[in-house]
Amino acid sequence: MGRRGLAGCGDRIMEQSVKTDRASTATPRRKSDYSLLERFRYRCGKKFKDLRFVLNRDVFKNPAARRLHREHPVTLSEAQARVVQELTSRGIAMIHVDELLGHSGLYEAVAEAADAFEHGGAVVEGIRRYEEHYGDSSWKEYIVRRFGNGERVGGDDPLVRFALCGELLDTVNAYMGMWTRLLGVNLWYTIPLAAQRERLASQNWHRDPEDQSLVKVFLQFREVDKGAGPFEYVPGSRAGGKYSHLWPMATGSGTRGYIPDELIDEHVEEGDIVTGTCRAGTLIFCDTSGFHRGGFARENPRLTGLFMYKTPASLYDCILNIDRVCDSETRTPQAGFALE
Ligand SMILES: O=C(O)CCC(=O)C(=O)O
Ligand SMILES: [Fe+2]
């Protein structure tokens, strides 16, 4: 998606459009840079997208995905059931991989890929560049990513296999009440920097724009303490929660921008914020339609696996070009659906 050209045109978020995990090279345009005709066309386009989303959500796509979920019941393990229950009640659940996956070999394979990434040239170069140029940052330059947007990824890649394994996918689908689609996978290295700097991009409070309910799973390969910029979440901010009215959700066509800190400071009780400090090997399941932020690391890096799921109604494409064909005979119908 990149920086959305006219994100929020005509409303208060014109100058602070939210982007997701996608790179951008575009220079941001300000509201005054757009002609009346451009604004009109943008608004019409947005209304049309909103309508398409609602039709997909209520009529065409999600009801069919719900039916598939009902028609193919799966038995959840105790650990999965606990995650679903916590996701349902709070929008966030943390669990160690050993508890959710046992020793299936899947974690070991992604951990090996993460190790290779962490010690590879891209991270070394990313750190060097960021330490030198952090003052010029405009987006997520503080994160080095394993995959770029649209990159071709094998169907048997350990990250893809991890994302599609029953332990994760069945859990996510059970929470969502439907078969979901994969929005992407990635490895992130969050660069720590003690220097004085502003929060940027998803270091600020926001709701993710891709869907009205979605799940991101963050796998923390190393311990995350306060100095590593832990993920933070406000459970009561999902639809129906006590903070849901504070910064209403996007409509399907995208973002409503970043949430001013003052709004959170003023209205959200400190005890209502969950901080994702955790030991190595922790999975954080989260419905990121709620308020969240993270990655403002000052002392220690984070090495994170990212697995993202959306409903079929979402108008956002998978951020990667993942091969549908793979060698593993273990691919389930749910996994096939997730890749469609
Ligand atoms: O880096 C983080 O912890 C936050 C990431 C985030 O907001 C997202 O992936 O949607
Ligand atoms: Fe986010």
Q: Determine the average pLDDT of the residues in 214-241.
A: 97
145 bridge partner residues: 188
Q: Residue 232 Cα, ligand 1 centroid: separation in angstroms?
A: 9
Q: What local confidence, expressed as pLDDT, does residue 14 receive?
A: 32
Give the architecture (CATH level 2) of 14-339. Sandwich (2.60)
Q: pLDDT tens-digit profile of 55-67?
A: 999 999 999 999 9
Measured in angstroms, how far is the CA atom of residue 201 from the centroid of ligand 1? 9
Identify which of 304, 296, 93, 314 has the alpha carbon closest to the alpha carbon of residue 211: 314
d(CA 9, CA 160): 36
Q: Which helix (H) or strand (E) holds 284?
A: strand 282-287
Strands of the 215-220 sheet, one edge to the other: 92-96, 282-287, 215-220, 302-310, 181-190, 143-145
| Model confidence at 5: pLDDT above 80 | no
Q: Is the CB of 231 under 6 A from ligand 1?
A: yes
pLDDT score for 186: 98
Q: Please tell me the predicted confidence (pLDDT) of residue 55.
A: 96
**Ligand 1 nearest atom to the CA of residue 21, by list position:** 9
The predicted-structure confidence for 20-32, as pLDDT tens digits, reads as follows 444 344 455 666 7
Query: Is the CB of residue 294 below 6 angstroms from any atom belonging to ligand 1?
Result: yes
Q: Is 150 left (phi over 0), alpha (psi -120 to 50) or beta?
A: left
Query: Which comes out higher in pLDDT, residue 42 or 309?
Result: 309
Closest CA to ligand 1's atom 10: 208
- pLDDT bucket at 8, cuts 50 / 70 / 90: very low
Q: Is the CB of 292 under 6 A from ligand 1?
A: yes
Ligand 1 geometric centre to CA of 40 (Å) = 32
pLDDT at 254: 74
- pLDDT value of position 109: 97
- Bridge-based pairing state of the strands 152-153 and 232-233: unpaired
Band (43; pLDDT cuts 50, 70, 90): confident
Averaged pLDDT for residues 180-201: 97
Average pLDDT taken over every residue of the chain? 90
- Measured in Å, residue 91 CA sits from the centre of ligand 2 at 13
| Contact call for residues 142 and 307 (beta carbons, < 8 A) | no
Distance 100 CA to ligand 2 centre (A): 24
Identify the burial level of 323 via C-beta atoms within 10 angstroms of its C-beta, where 0-12 means exposed, 13-18 middle and 19 or more buried. middle
- Which of 202, 304, 309 to probe ligand 1 with, by most ligand atoms within 8 A of CB? 202
Residues whose beta carbons lie less than 5 angstroms from ion ligand 2: 202, 208, 288
pLDDT at 28: 56
Model confidence pLDDT, tens digit, residues 97-108 = 999 998 889 999
Residue 248 banded pLDDT, cuts 50, 70, 90: confident
Q: What is the pLDDT of residue 29?
A: 65
Query: Is the Cβ atom of 202 under 6 angstroms away from ligand 1?
Result: yes
DSSP notation for 179-210: --EEEEEEEEEEPP--S-----GGGS-B--SS
pTM of the model: 0.91
Q: Closest ligand to 230 CA?
A: 1
Query: How many whole angstroms from 294 Cα to the centroid of ligand 1?
Result: 5
**pLDDT tier, 16 (very low <50, low <70, confident <90, very high otherwise):** very low
Higher-confidence residue of 37 and 112: namely 112
Q: What pLDDT does residue 329 have?
A: 66
Kindly identify the ligand whose nearest atom is closest to the C-alpha of 140: 1
Which of 1-15, 170-184, 250-264 is modeled with the greatest confidence?
A: 170-184
SS3 86: helix
Whole-number pLDDT of residue 17: 38
Q: Hey, whose CA ends up nearest to atom 4 of ligand 1?
A: 294
State which H helix or E strand residue 218 sits in: strand 215-220
Among 16-20, 117-121, 251-255, the range scoring the smallest mean pLDDT is: 16-20
* Cα(249) to centroid(ligand 1), Å: 17
Give the phi and the psi of residue 89 in degrees, each rounded to 5. -85, -30
